[in-house]
Amino acid sequence: MDRKIKLTTNLIWQYFNQQLFDQYSIWNVRHFWYLYQITLFRKCWEREYSQESKHQY
């Protein structure tokens, strides 16, 4: 449960912390949520891959 709260607060923080007039700002909440999930998945995937590569000889 604590992890869900942490992910949700991180999502909200990133959404409201966007630059106002940046061309890459996303103000549609659903679209932002979709892209957030993709980036989160990518980060987890890269972290898992880097941990596996450290253990291989």
How far apart CA 29 and CA 20 sit, in angstroms, is 15
Paired tokens of 26: 């996303």
How far apart CA 54 and CA 26 sit, in angstroms, is 36
Specify if 37 maps to a domain. Answer: yes
Task: Give the pLDDT confidence score for residue 38 in this predicted structure.
Answer: 92
Specify if 33 maps to a domain. Answer: yes
Specify if 15 maps to a domain. Answer: no
Calculated CA dihedral for residues 23, 26, 14, 35, nearest 10 degrees: -110
Specify if 19 maps to a domain. Answer: no
The pTM for the full model equals: 0.60
Q: How many structural domains does the chain have?
A: 1
Say which residue the tokens 């604590």 belong to. 2
Residue 57's domain comprises: 27-57
Specify if 32 maps to a domain. Answer: yes
Could you report the per-residue pLDDT of 3-56, keeping only the tens digit for each? 888 888 888 898 998 888 888 888 888 999 898 889 888 988 888 777 766 655
Paired tokens of 18: 């966007």
Specify if 12 maps to a domain. Answer: no
